[in-house]
């Protein structure tokens, strides 16, 4: 059991020490919870910390069906979804503006650093179903990074297996049963406020 997200990040940093001071490497995380895990990694490795905002776009007639994903740098559209490309583009443009506003709130600028020709270390505080990580990986791959390393403290092994084709390397410290809940493996797993994220990013 991890004491908290920070401790989980410190343990992951030890597995990633090869990338310390690597100018082509960058730590990327999904806010808000992932920032607490990614922060000690970026600090220990002396790497830049960037945020990956992701938003799924659902079918206009069925909110349970995902037709694509949008981020700040790119989008992913399932052309077999039965929805027109123009509908997706309109939705994507709307969400991109909202994500840019949130990025500026957290980091102070609208657009993130390009991940092209970078070694991307994608970090989160854990995986439950893997939906958000899947979206993030799709968007990161479209930016043509050198490689993607998925660094996760804890996840179900069955879910991690699904990402072997999306990530060049996967580091997972602990596996847990799919029927368990992620928070049960942390002594402290509280909601992370926007102000806490801003404070860590400023550091």
Same domain assignment for residues 87 and 152: no
Does residue 197 carry a pLDDT above 80? yes
Give how many domains the chain has, as a whole number: 2
Same domain assignment for residues 77 and 170: no
Same domain assignment for residues 141 and 171: yes
Whether the link from the prior residue into 32 is cis, omega within 30° of 0, is yes
As a whole-number percent, the residues of the chain with pLDDT over 70 amount to 100
Same domain assignment for residues 120 and 91: no
Q: Which single residue is written with the structure tokens 């730590």?
A: 27
Euclidean distance between CA atoms 196 and 79, whole angstroms: 39
Look at residues 43, 10, 17, 42 and name the one whose alpha carbon lies nearest to residue 29: 42
pLDDT of residue 183: 82
- In the structure, what pLDDT confidence band is assigned to residue 129 with cuts at 50, 70 and 90? confident
Cα first-last separation, the chain: 27
Q: Which single residue is written with the structure tokens 């659902």?
A: 58
User: What is the model's pTM?
Assistant: 0.88
Higher pLDDT, 131 or 46: 46
- In the structure, what pLDDT confidence band is assigned to residue 115 with cuts at 50, 70 and 90? very high
Neighbouring CB atoms inside 10 A of 35's CB total 26
Same domain assignment for residues 97 and 181: no
Same domain assignment for residues 41 and 68: no
Q: Which single residue is written with the structure tokens 């996967």?
A: 170
Residue 36 lies in domain: 5-52+112-202
Same domain assignment for residues 142 and 189: yes
Same domain assignment for residues 153 and 175: yes
Same domain assignment for residues 41 and 88: no
Does residue 185 carry a pLDDT above 80? yes
- DSSP per residue, 165-202: TT-SEEEEEEE--TTS-GGGGBS--PPPPHHHHHHHHH
134-177 pLDDT per residue, tens: 989 988 999 999 999 999 999 999 999 999 999 999 999 999 88
Euclidean distance between CA atoms 45 and 118, whole angstroms: 15
Contact at 8 Å (CB) between 106 and 31?
yes
């Amino acid at each position: 059991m991890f004491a908290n997200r920070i401790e989980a990040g410190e343990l992951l940093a030890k597995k990633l020490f090869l990338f310390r001071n690597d100018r082509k490497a960058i730590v990327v995380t999904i806010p808000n919870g992932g920032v607490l895990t990614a922060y000690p990694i970026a600090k220990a490795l002396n790497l830049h910390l960037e945020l990956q905002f992701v938003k799924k776009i659902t079918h206009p007639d069925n909110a349970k069906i995902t037709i694509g994903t949008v981020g700040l740098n790119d989008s992913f559209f399932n052309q077999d979804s039965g929805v027109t490309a123009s509908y997706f583009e309109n939705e994507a443009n709307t969400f991109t503006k909202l994500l840019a506003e949130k990025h500026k709130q957290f980091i102070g600028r609208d657009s993130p650093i390009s991940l092209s020709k970078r070694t991307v270390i994608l970090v989160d505080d854990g995986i439950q179903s893997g939906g958000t990580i899947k979206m993030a990986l799709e968007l990161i791959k479209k930016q043509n990074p050198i490689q993607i390393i998925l660094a996760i403290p804890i996840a179900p092994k069955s879910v991690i297996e699904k990402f072997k084709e999306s990530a060049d390397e996967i580091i997972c410290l602990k596996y847990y049963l799919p029927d368990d809940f992620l928070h049960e493996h942390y002594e402290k797993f509280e909601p992370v406020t926007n102000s806490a994220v801003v404070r860590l990013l400023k550091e």
